[in-house]
Structure 1
Amino acid sequence: MTVPTFTERLTARTLALNTRLCLGLDPRQDAYGSHTELRTHTLEVLHRCAELVACVKPQLAFYEALGLQGMELLEEVCAAARALGLPVILDAKRGDIGSTAAAYAQAWLAGRHAGSALTVNPFLGFETLQPFVDVAHENGGALFVLVKTSNPGQADLQGGGVSERVADELTRLGREEGKGLSSVGAVVGATHPQELADWRRRMPHAPLLLPGLGAQGARPDDLAGAFLPDGTGAVVSASRGIQYADGLDLSAAVQAAQGFRDGLNAALERARVE
């Protein structure tokens, strides 16, 4: 039996549950009174919001900051997500040369803490993407390569056609795979709503990860241009806006996730009508 790839599972879940929302899980040490509270709340948010989201995105920095306990929690989060049928995007933004890139790829796409997909930094050169592409292919996984990030300072390095060059390389890699969504996706900030349709056209086979919903100011109403005509092809991530929607109130987290999911769906419906 053929095991579905990351993009196949993501598309199936998007359509089955009618959700384009990605749940970011960022366990911030200063938000909790103890590690036990941090662990319990993080896992509870995952379980309670699971049916509202298409995938989950742990931000690796927050788990690394917790030391060994953080790595153990990351394994728990990934295992719980798999049990819930949720594809896992590890937000690590890894990138390096040669054997180091290969080691990162093995660690985060095939190792004990591995996710289904990994965010990757391409700014050491396109050759550095290949080890990640190879391991993703071997494991039915995917990459989300930084193209146009959500932070205000991105223009310092990503302007002047640099982002476009990265996007064109991802399109080339995706074209080599044939039909359907590629295993090589792109990170494009939801904070650039006026550009999303252009990025979608430029990377027709790339799944898009759109960070910036909620705390960074992006609004569901503005994001329809990132999606394919059937409403697939992109997920929009919210982290603080869900996990800490009202302090540590779990009901508020669920309500926030519902609001983001419904807002994205409404925006797509309006776009179809127009």
Structure 2
Amino acid sequence: MIIDKLYEECNKKSPICVGLDTKIEYLPKFLREEDTSVSEKIFTFNKMIIDNTSDLVACFKVQIAFYEALGIEGLKAYSKTVKYIREKGKIVIGDIKRGDISSTAKAYADAHFSGDFEVDIITVNPYMGVDSISPYEDYMKNDDKALFMLIHTSNKSSKDFQELEVSGEKLYMKVAEKCKTWGENSIGESGFNRIGGVVGLTFPEEFLEIKKECPNTFFLIPGYGAQGGKGKDIKEIFKGGVCGVINSSRGIITAHKGKSEDEDFVKYTREAVISMKDDLIG
């Protein structure tokens, strides 16, 4: 099962997920000035980061919005990036946050679990109910695909809806219960199932509440670093063992800014990952 492999990678290397939320302005000067296409510039930047951090991290997450914003050239870079990660034997999460009726969800499944944009795990929004989740099951039957569904996100305004009370319970806990129920028949050797949850490190108390409700759920954890999440928070959450991957995007892929605009920029990328690893697990 892919979640078992992810759990194993977390324990072998570190529970770090590098977020490739790449923008043109993040590229060092030598790449921005190269006489190549936008897609080649973006891919070269991503490839250099992947090559210089893959031995330290559990996985990579590629947020598709940053590539869609660049049109066809951006989507070419997205496709090449996710293919390259998988060719290296690493796990890639497609951060697409799709959520729609079953017929549309089936098309999203086809688009992101096969073809040019194929990844190992995708993020989904469950707020349209089980109809928006079940179409992915066909791809998950072979245990080489998985989902991370939104439970309690890291942004401040997540409280607008996710913390509303529904029948005496916070809405995010209702979603957590569904996450547990929908994945309970697919528990792997690691003790985790193939429907994981997205919970922000910016809400550590709520995270512990969700973890208690969902002991077999593996988590994708945003909010570390730039958004305020700290290593001490994850150490509390990881008492008893690793139960998720912690994503960092800007803190890693822009670590070279103000230090290098040349090919040695990846030295600072790698240093940022090592520093994060030390903060998380010491």
Q: Which moved further from structure 2: 124-133 or 85-94?
A: 124-133
Structure 1 position 112, deviation (Å): 2.1
1:219 aligns with 2:235: no
Decide whether the 8 Å contact of 1:59 with 1:90 is kept in 2.
yes
More helix per residue: 1 or 2?
1
Distance 1:109 1:139, change over 3 A: farther
TM-score by length of 1: 0.89
Any stretches of 5+ residues in structure 1 without a counterpart?
267-274
Question: Partners of 1:41 and 1:78 in 2: how far apart?
Answer: 13
The residue correspondences of 1:175-190 to structure 2 (distance < 5 A) are 175-178=184-187, 180-190=191-201
Identical columns (%): 33
The residue correspondences of 1:1-274 to structure 2 (distance < 5 A) are 5-17=1-13, 19-32=14-27, 33=32, 35=38, 36-138=40-142, 140-160=144-164, 161-178=170-187, 180-227=191-238, 229=240, 231-247=241-257, 249-266=265-282
Map Cα deviations across residues 109-162 of structure 1 (whole Å, 9 max, x no partner): 223211100000011223211112332334621100000000011011111221
Q: Which moved further from structure 2: 111-120 or 6-15?
A: 6-15
SS in 2 for 1:177: coil
Decide whether the 8 Å contact of 2:176 with 2:214 is kept in 1.
yes
SS in 2 for 1:223: helix
Amino acid at match of 1:15: N
Decide whether the 8 Å contact of 2:149 with 2:198 is kept in 1.
yes
CA RMSD of aligned residues (A): 1.7
SS in 1 for 2:255: coil
Amino acid at match of 1:7: I
Question: Partners of 1:84 and 1:21 in 2: how far apart?
Answer: 17
Any stretches of 5+ residues in structure 2 without a counterpart?
165-169
Decide whether the 8 Å contact of 1:199 with 1:226 is kept in 2.
no
Question: Partners of 1:228 and 1:94 in 2: how far apart?
Answer: 32
Distance 1:104 1:228, change over 3 A: farther
Amino acid at match of 2:247: S
Map Cα deviations across residues 25-77 of structure 1 (whole Å, 9 max, x no partner): 01113334362443322211111111111000000101111222222212221
Structure 1 position 90, deviation (Å): 0.6
Question: Partners of 2:139 and 2:238 in 1: how far apart?
Answer: 27
Amino acid at match of 1:157: F
Decide whether the 8 Å contact of 1:63 with 1:70 is kept in 2.
yes
Structure 1 segments, 4+ long, off by >4 Å, are none
Question: Partners of 1:104 and 1:198 in 2: how far apart?
Answer: 31
Question: How many aligned positions are there?
Answer: 260
Structure 1 position 198, deviation (Å): 1.8
Map Cα deviations across residues 224-244 of structure 1 (whole Å, 9 max, x no partner): 243362x33200000000000
Amino acid at match of 1:262: D
Distance 1:40 1:178, change over 3 A: closer
Question: Partners of 2:235 and 2:147 in 1: how far apart?
Answer: 22
Amino acid at match of 2:18: L
Question: Partners of 1:107 and 1:226 in 2: how far apart?
Answer: 34
Distance 1:109 1:225, change over 3 A: farther
Decide whether the 8 Å contact of 1:184 with 1:206 is kept in 2.
yes
Decide whether the 8 Å contact of 1:29 with 1:66 is kept in 2.
no
